[in-house]
Structure 1
Amino acid sequence: MMNKILNETYKLHNGVEMPKVGFGTFRMTDPKITKAAVIHALQHGYKMIDTVDVYGNHEIIREAIKESGVNRKDIFITTKV
């Protein structure tokens, strides 16, 4: 059931398909836990990571993406301005 949900997308005007569900990183303050959680999420089907600069975890997320083995071009990163 979860994989079905993770595979649902919105088709954008430019034809790109964006995941409907992402992995949120709010209140993930422990770098070790954050990295492990993001790696796990990516390796189990999440294709979108949601973050905000004030969370202070961008560097850890970058490392997790690199270590996950998932191709960066297959991942959406959403943030707020």
Structure 2
Amino acid sequence: MDTAQTICDVATRGHEQKGLTGAVGGVLRQIPPTVVKPLIVASEATSNLLGGMRNQIRPDARKEACLKWRTDDGQE
């Protein structure tokens, strides 16, 4: 619903300012974020799901990762 409303608002503003060309241009500029945002959300969800599954299968995996990437103050 938000995406459709945003596209309508952009098309209306573009049409008011520049006519049909502005409306079409505004809609075309909104297409990339409309397509990319769901992909980003899906990839984040997949990452969280896989991380949770790994932690269920190997409970020590998170602890090992924390120890692996820990930096000591004296090693800079």
Indicate whether the TM-score tops 0.5. Answer: no
**Normalization by structure 1: what TM-score?**
0.26
Q: Hey, which of these two has a bigger chunk of strand by percent?
A: 1
Bigger-Rg structure (1/2): 2
Greater relative contact order (Cα 8 A, min sep 6): structure 1 or 2? 1
Q: Hey, which of these two has a bigger chunk of helix by percent?
A: 2
